[in-house]
Amino acid sequence: MTDRATAGEMIAIRQLAHGRAGDKGNRLNISVIAFDRQHFDHLKTHVTEELCGQAFAFSPPSGITRYVLPNLAAMNFVLEDVLDGGVNVNLRLDRHGKTLSYALLDMLIPAPPGWGDRDQHGR
Amino acid sequence: MGDVHIAAGAGFSNDRRELGEIAAQSLTLFEGHRYLIFECLAERTLALAQGEDGQRRQVERAIGYLEACINTCILNNIRIISNFGGSAPKQVAEAIAGFLKQHNLRRRIGYVLGDELPVKDTEHDGRAISRNAYIGAHGIVEALDAGADIVVTGRVADPSLVVGAVAFEHELRWIDWNRLAQATLAGHLIECGTQVCGGYFADTGAKQVPGLTRLGAPVASVARGHDRLKISKPLGGGLLTTATVTEQLLYEIHDPARYLTPDVVMDISGVAMQQTGRNEVTLTGCVGHARPDWLKTLTCVDEGWIGEAEISYMGDTSLDRAQMARTILTQRLENIAPSAAPHFDIIGAMYDEANNAGHPRDVRLRMAVASNDREQVRALLDEVEALYLNGPAGGGGIRLNISARTATVAGTVRQNEAVSRGHLLEDTP
């Protein structure tokens, strides 16, 4: 397999993984689930608590914890104090923070080896 | 045999009414014990259900859900469990009894009490509206045991709606932690209705979902005596794959090894899943640990009013003019109400503006304010309306809205302070 991906090519997390945000009180969780299990280690290396923090620079959480679920080829990020007090009091447009999964999924990470051989959906 | 099949007909208080009928029709395809749940309570639904209007709305909703599916349920011996009792399970149960009587339908109706806790005048400066504990499945089992065909609850924990059905049919003991966890997993996966079978999932590329205009309902099939759990979507649009199930599995989860419910501590860290059929996934490896000896409570507190106002701008300089309008409002509000702390969004450029990227041609400025004084909120929104004649060029489409602001404050009580108890309505057939 030839690697036609340019050295240093960056792709969005959502090209390799999908996810969903959920809120409870002032806490948000975002799952990051590999479409293809063979990319899970690559995702684990690059989708870190630090990268998640960068994705939320516009509203910095007071803490971020990543849980890794190898059986499911998934990670779960839990962000503390990220909803300005929670769904029922904040003044945001999206009071639940439901749209925020895409703040993380749009972050760029290096393309995995062999990425250039794939189509735009990573298949 | 002895499998329990539970379908979800609603995942929030105002879900599609037709979903209940799709769910009931789906259940007719299964042999065994059949249950239909409607999950209707979010963090502040109970606060909204206070007062006469709120009470009337929750009765109308419960009956609306039943109207759509009750005939199929009666014909096929499907029992119904729902938290659509909201802030007044007994009153909603009585209203349902009245509705059934009117249609010459005979069902035994049970209800579950125990979640409502007294509110002290001194709490939150007298602004506390309601206080409820998240109670477990115990009362549902009692109501089913008493012969109920329809069980109406208030604030039981969402997955407990399913735990009640499984615990009753499989005669679980309240220390069968792995079995209780398996039932909790079933409940967790279907309590948001279509969110596990193609709803809230669609995107371009690898996430395309067929049949989004009429999504089907999920069915959880819980096997007796071992840890296999099947989730399927027999009818309607959507899809049920390991991808859709994994998204819902982690939805609103914090530590995957410790999901706390009133019935059990669920541990999904070792769960594995397999696509075992078209629109069917089988999960194994869920385990349980002893439930906490306390329950979560939620107090709803009156926090006054939220006001929102929006105005649109179009064209190449739309972002510049929205920013101008924001500056005008910021300065005027500083003079009129220095403590107002308005929140602004420029819709259409929210992230572009922060990153100095993009060139929107159509944006909408939104201002949100909060206050205990409704008149004050109104006065501040009037400032946005004044932009019609006094703001930058080409502003239009102004909308103003004021709504009640209800905070929810989490707390705890000991298990024995809020006991989940089931009852049968007295004049039930």
User: Does A92 sit within 8 Å of B246, measured CB to CB?
Assistant: no
Q: Residue B266: is it exposed, middle or buried by C-beta count within 10 angstroms (0-12/13-18/19+)?
A: buried
Among A20, A69, A92, select the one facing B247 at the smallest CB separation. A20
pLDDT at res. A1: 39
Determine contact, residues B372/B304, Cβ cutoff 8 Å: yes
For residue A37, is it within any domain? yes
**Residue-level pLDDT at B50:** 73
Q: What per-residue confidence (pLDDT) applies to A58?
A: 83
| A120 inside domain | no
Q: Residues near B334 by Cβ (< 8 Å), separated by ≥ 6?
A: none
In this structure, is residue A123 part of a structural domain? no
**Residue B46 confidence class, pLDDT cut points 50, 70, 90:** confident
A 29-68 residues inside an 8 A Cβ radius of B: 29, 31, 33, 35, 58, 67
Task: Residue B263: name the closest of B420, B48, B114 by CA.
Answer: B420
Q: Is A70 an interface residue toward B (CB < 8 Å)?
A: no
Rounded average pLDDT over B59-75: 97
B14-44: buried (b, 16+ CB within 10 Å) or exposed (e) per residue? ebbbebbbbbbbbbeebeebbbbbbbbbebb
Distance CA B141, CA B288 (A): 19
* Cβ separation A72–B410 shorter than 8 A: no
Of A74, A87, A91, the CB nearest to B250: A74
Residue B272: CA count within 13 A, CB half-sphere: 5
Which is more confidently placed, B122 or B330?
B330
Q: Which residue spans within B105-228 are E strands per DSSP?
A: 109-113, 116-117, 128-133, 150-152, 219-222
The residue ranges of chain A whose pLDDT is under 70 are 1-7, 118-123
The pLDDT value given to residue B370: 97
User: What domain range is A22 assigned to?
Assistant: 10-86+93-114
Mean pLDDT, residues B416-421 taken together: 96
Interface contact B382, partner A, CB < 8 A: no
- Contact B357/A at CB under 8 A: no
Average pLDDT rounded to a whole number, residues B132-140: 97
In a domain, A99, yes or no: yes
If you average pLDDT over residues B67-74, what whole number do you get?
98
Residue A119 lies in a domain: no
CB B332 within 8 Å of CB B387: no
Residue with tokens 């929030």: B12
Pairing between strand B229-232 and B128-133? Answer: unpaired
Does residue A27 belong to the interface with chain B, where contact is any CB pair within 8 Å? Answer: yes
Number of domains making up chain A: 1
Give yes or no for B31 touching A (CB within 8 A): no
Size of interface A-B (CB pairs under 8 A): 106
pLDDT at res. B231: 98
- Tell me where in chain B the CATH 3.30.70.1120 domain(s) lie: 299-410
Contact B408 A25 (CB under 8 A): yes
What pLDDT shows up at residue B95?
97
pLDDT above 70 coverage of chain A, percent: 89
* DSSP-based three-state secondary structure for B27: helix
The whole-chain average pLDDT of chain B stands at 95
B359-369: pLDDT as tens digits: 788 999 999 99
CATH number at residue A72: 3.30.70
Of B203, B247, B354, the CB nearest to A31: B247
Name the CATH superfamily housing domain B299-410: TT1725-like (3.30.70.1120)
Give the model's pLDDT for residue A3.
45
Query: Which of B206, B273, B285 has the CB atom closest to A121's CB atom?
Result: B206
Question: What residues form DSSP beta bridges with B108?
Answer: none
Q: What whole-number percentage of chain B has pLDDT above 70?
A: 98
